[in-house]
């Protein structure tokens, strides 16, 4: 499924007994800055290049394979560079909670 970051495979969306979802996201160079009003996302970097980074409210943070970044609600964010990320969304991911400035 296409998303602002690239392509996401979402899991556990139909489980009513779980308060979160997992996404395996292939992030592209064209990832768009966005934010969520209610969702906290946690990115676990599975694979990335040497110049990979995550921007949080305009501040660029270098990342490497194995790093984990927590992104609270209202934080404008995007990944920079190609990478594969496991995203944990809490509460469950809702496409209506993706916002752009």
Higher per-residue pLDDT: 1 or 56: 56
51: confidence class by pLDDT, cuts 50, 70, 90 = very high
What homologous superfamily does CATH list for 2-93?
Jelly Rolls (2.60.120.10)
Domain boundaries, the chain: 2-93
Q: How far apart are CA 26 and CA 6, in angstroms?
A: 6
Question: How do residues 5-32 score in pLDDT, each as one tens digit?
Answer: 888 888 888 899 999 999 999 998 889 9
Predicted confidence at residue 61, as pLDDT, reads 97
Q: Cβ neighbours of residue 59 under 8 Å, at least 6 residues apart?
A: none
* Peptide bond between residue 80 and the one before it cis (omega within 30 degrees of 0): no
Predicted confidence at residue 32, as pLDDT, reads 94
Mean pLDDT across the chain = 94
């Amino acid at each position: 499924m296409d998303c602002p970051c690239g392509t996401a495979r979402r899991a556990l969306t139909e489980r009513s007994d779980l308060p979160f979802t997992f996404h395996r996201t292939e992030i592209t160079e064209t990832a768009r800055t966005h934010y969520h009003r209610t969702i906290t996302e946690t990115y676990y970097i599975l694979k990335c290049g040497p110049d990979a980074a995550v921007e949080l409210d305009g501040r660029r943070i270098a990342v490497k394979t194995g790093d984990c970044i927590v992104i609270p609600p209202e934080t404008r964010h995007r990944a920079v560079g190609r990478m594969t990320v496991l995203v944990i969304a809490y509460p469950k991911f809702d496409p209506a909670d993706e916002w752009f400035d």
